[in-house]
Structure formats: structure tokens, C-alpha cells
A = this chain, B = another copy of it.
Amino acid sequence: MSILSHIAHVPLFEGLPQVQVEDLAMIVTDQVFRKGESIFSEGEEGNGFYVVITGRVKIFKLSSEGKEQILHFFGPGEPFGEVPVFAGQQFPANAEALEQSRVFFFPRKSFVDLIKKNPSLALNMLAVLSKRLRRFAALVDDLSLKEVPGRLAAYLLYLSDQNKGVKDLELNITKAQLASLLGTIPETLSRILAKLGSQGLIETDGRRIKILKKEALQDLAESGGRL
């Protein structure tokens, strides 16, 4: 595959017009790292971001005793270092090739110059990322709807039990904390609460949740089931 078609296949650049793929190809550096070779180190100036073409890269931190804590593995098509580089910050961790790896490097300065010359590159990349976020959010919803309603029902029943069986509950954590407790995101939790509300199982008003149909919640908690 040519450099152009490698770039066009990176999800971060998915669907960019050909002329912008060509612009990116003008600034890219094609690099190969040997197994175990360091790509960047924590604290270094983020002077560009990377995309794995072949091979695998690990991102890790070192404790003060030199113990390695692995944060991520990245494989073909995945960018790394782009969050700090876009934000103009230093690299917050180390990157090292796990096996011989081919990596494309995009220097920050040239990338900023491209955007100044042609803001539509940035707009298109924002569109690409927004679209991927939508897809992920839908997937999280889909995966969560199988389990989170059951866990939520169990949690509400637990709260009620803890409070002598009252049905008028007041959450003492935020919805964001509750979402995280249930292993999902606030947006999905809101959708589940709305659905339980429209089915008449509960009634919500801010942090107050009123249990309307205790038996239905028990069924949901026991089946662990999908709404």
C-alpha cells in the first residue's frame, strides 16, 4: 500500500477528501522502531503525534521504584500521543514498540500550518471524530442496555431496603457517579431512567427517585435483563 492509502485507511482520517489526505502525506514521516525501542518518554515536549501502521506499541508509566504500569496497547490504524499533542502539552507517559513496528509521525508544527492554510482539514477531522463518538455511544448504549437496567434496579431496591423499605429515594451521589458505579456513562443512564419512567416503574425528579412498581423492578434485577 502507498503512504496515501495507509493514511486514508486510518480511522482518525476516515473519509477526508483526497486533497487533504495528500496534504497529510506531505508532512508525514514514515518510521520503523525495533522491538523494545523507545518512541517517546514521559515529560518530553509533544512535538507531533503518531499512528501505528504495522506492529504494536505499548504506552506505560514508570513508578518511582521503576515499576512499569501499562496504560494502553495500540495496534494498526490507532493514533497515539494525539491527545497531548493536539492540546499542546507534554507527553504524559512513555511509548515503546512491543515488536518491530511501522509508525507514521505527524509533526505538530506542520500540522498546525496545514490547518491555518486550510481550516476545513480541522473541520473534517472534527466531523470524523464526532461521527466515531456517535458510533461508540450507540455501542455503549447497546451493550449497557443488556445489563445496566438490571444493575440499576438492584441498586434502587438496595437503597430502599437500607431505608426501611421507603419508596421515595433521594440519591446521595450525582448521576455521573451513579453511572460510573453501574459501569456506564451518564447519557446512557439518563436514557434508562427515562425508559423505566415511561414504563411506569419509577418516577424521577432530579436526584429523587420514586419506586412505583417494586415487583417489576425485582423481576428486572433478577433477570439482569434487557429493557
Contact = CB atoms under 8 A, between A and B. Distances in A.
A155 interface: no
Interface in A119-134: 119-120, 122-127, 129-134
Contacts of A75: 187, 190
A129 B119 CA distance: 17
B127 A184 contact: no
A176 B112 CA distance: 32
Interface string A167-197: 0000000000000000111010011001000
A27 to B, nearest CB: 14
A82 B130 contact: yes
A112 B122 CA distance: 10
A86 B126 contact: yes
A150 B148 CA distance: 19
12 contacts: A15-B87, A73-B194, A82-B127, A86-B126, A87-B123, A87-B127, A122-B123, A126-B129, A129-B133, A133-B136, A143-B143, A146-B147
Given A136-B140, A142-B183, 6 more contacts: A77-B187, A83-B130, A84-B127, A88-B120, A112-B119, A125-B126
